Structure 1
Amino acid sequence: MIARRTLLAASATLALTPGVALGQSVSKVEVTAAMKRATRFMVEKLAYRGGYVWSYLPDRSRIWGELEAYKTMVWVQPPGTATMGHLYLDAYHATGDEYYYQAAAQAAGALIAGQLPQGGWNYFIDFGGPESTKRWYETIGRNAWRMEEFQHHWGNATFDDGGTGEAIRFLIRIYVEKREKRFKPGLDKAIDFIFASQLENGGWPQRWPRVADGGLHGKPDYTGLITFNDGVIHDNIDVLLTYHQAIGDPRIPPAIRRGMDIYLSTQQPAPQAGWGLQHTMDLKPAGARSYEPKALVTHTTASNIEQLMTFYRLTGDDRYLAPVPAALDWLESVRLPADSQVGGRQFPTFVEIGTNRPLFVHRRGSNVVNGEYYADYDPAHTIGHYNARRGIDTAKLRREYEKLKAMPGKAAAKDSPLLKGRQPLKKYWMAEVEPGSDMNATKGGKDAKSLVGSLNAEGWWPTQLRAMSHPYSGPGSKTVARGDFRSTHVGDVTDTSPFDMENGPVGISTGTYIDHMITLIKALQT
Structure 2
Amino acid sequence: MIHRVINKIKLLAVFALGAVMLPAQDIQLSMLEYELRIPEQTAQSELWADLLQHDRQWYTSPEAIRIAENILLYQRNSGGWPKNIDYTETLSAVHKKELTDYADEPLATIDNGATYTQMRYLAHVYAQTGDKRYCLAFLRGLDYLLKAQYENGGWPQYYPLRKGYYSHITYNDDAMIGVMRLLRDVAAGGSEYRFVDENRCFMAQKAVAKGIECILKTQVVVNGELTAWCAQHDVKTLKPARGRAYELPSLSGKETVDIIWFLMEIENPPPEIIAAIEGAISWLQRVKINGIRQKRVTSPKSPTGYDKIIVNDPAAPPIWARFYQIGTNRPFFSDRDGEMYFDLADISVERRVGYGWLGYWPQELLEKFYPRWQARYVVNKRMPQK
Q: Distance in 2 between matches of 1:233 and 1:402?
A: 25
The one-letter code sitting in structure 2 at the alignment partner of 1:261 is E
The answer to whether structure 1 residue 300 and structure 2 residue 298 are counterparts is no
SS in 2 for 1:294: coil
- Counterpart residue number, 2:264: 309
- Counterpart residue number, 1:111: 71
Q: Would the aligned equivalents of 2:73 and 2:100 in 1 still touch at CA under 8 Å?
A: no
Q: Any stretches of 5+ residues in structure 2 without a counterpart?
A: 8-40, 88-94, 295-309, 311-315, 382-386
Q: Distance in 2 between matches of 1:334 and 1:179?
A: 50
Q: Distance in 1 between matches of 2:46 and 2:377?
A: 37
Query: How far has the Cα of 1:179 moved from its partner?
Result: 2.7
**Range with bigger deviation, 394-403 or 271-280:** 394-403
C-alpha distance after superposition, 1:51-85 (max 9, x if no partner): xxxxxxxxxxxxxx979xxxxxxxxx5456x6676
The answer to whether structure 1 residue 236 and structure 2 residue 179 are counterparts is yes
Query: How far has the Cα of 1:299 moved from its partner?
Result: 1.7
1:187 corresponds, among 138, 144, 155, to 138
> What pairs with 1:268-417 in structure 2 (closer than 5 Å)?
268-270=220-222, 271=225, 273-281=227-235, 282-310=237-265, 312-313=266-267, 316-338=269-291, 344-362=317-335, 372=337, 374-382=339-347, 383-391=352-360, 392-393=362-363, 394-396=366-368, 398-406=370-378
The one-letter code sitting in structure 2 at the alignment partner of 1:242 is D
Query: How far has the Cα of 1:339 moved from its partner?
Result: 5.1
Query: How far has the Cα of 1:233 moved from its partner?
Result: 1.7
CA RMSD of aligned residues (A): 3.4
Q: Would the aligned equivalents of 1:229 and 1:300 in 2 still touch at CA under 8 Å?
A: yes
2:162 corresponds, among 191, 211, 214, to 211
Q: Distance in 1 between matches of 2:81 and 2:210?
A: 23
Q: Distance in 1 between matches of 2:345 and 2:101?
A: 41
Cα 1:154–1:116 change in 2 (3 A) is closer
- Counterpart residue number, 1:5: 3
SS in 1 for 2:184: helix
Q: Any stretches of 5+ residues in structure 1 without a counterpart?
A: 10-64, 68-76, 134-152, 213-220, 364-371, 410-526
Q: Would the aligned equivalents of 1:78 and 1:166 in 2 still touch at CA under 8 Å?
A: no
Query: How far has the Cα of 1:241 moved from its partner?
Result: 3.0
Query: How far has the Cα of 1:276 moved from its partner?
Result: 0.5
Q: Distance in 1 between matches of 2:207 and 2:167?
A: 18
Q: Distance in 1 between matches of 2:328 and 2:152?
A: 28
Aligned pairs, how many?
A: 299
Greater length-normalized contact order (CA 8 Å, ≥ 6 residues apart)? 1
Moved over 6 A (4+): 130-133
- Counterpart residue number, 2:170: 227
Q: Distance in 1 between matches of 2:49 and 2:263?
A: 27
Q: Distance in 2 between matches of 1:272 and 1:241?
A: 25
Cα 1:108–1:85 change in 2 (3 A) is farther
Q: Distance in 2 between matches of 1:132 and 1:381?
A: 47
Q: Distance in 2 between matches of 1:390 and 1:345?
A: 9
SS in 1 for 2:114: helix
Q: Distance in 1 between matches of 2:137 and 2:168?
A: 26
Q: Distance in 1 between matches of 2:369 and 2:274?
A: 12
The answer to whether structure 1 residue 157 and structure 2 residue 108 are counterparts is yes
> What pairs with 1:27-38 in structure 2 (closer than 5 Å)?
none
Query: How far has the Cα of 1:157 moved from its partner?
Result: 0.7
TM-score (ref. length: structure 1): 0.50
- Counterpart residue number, 1:512: none
The one-letter code sitting in structure 2 at the alignment partner of 1:180 is D
Q: Distance in 1 between matches of 2:329 and 2:242?
A: 16
Cα 1:90–1:132 change in 2 (3 A) is same
Query: How far has the Cα of 1:198 moved from its partner?
Result: 1.2
Structure with the greater alpha carbon radius of gyration: 1
Query: How far has the Cα of 1:185 moved from its partner?
Result: 2.2
The one-letter code sitting in structure 2 at the alignment partner of 1:101 is S
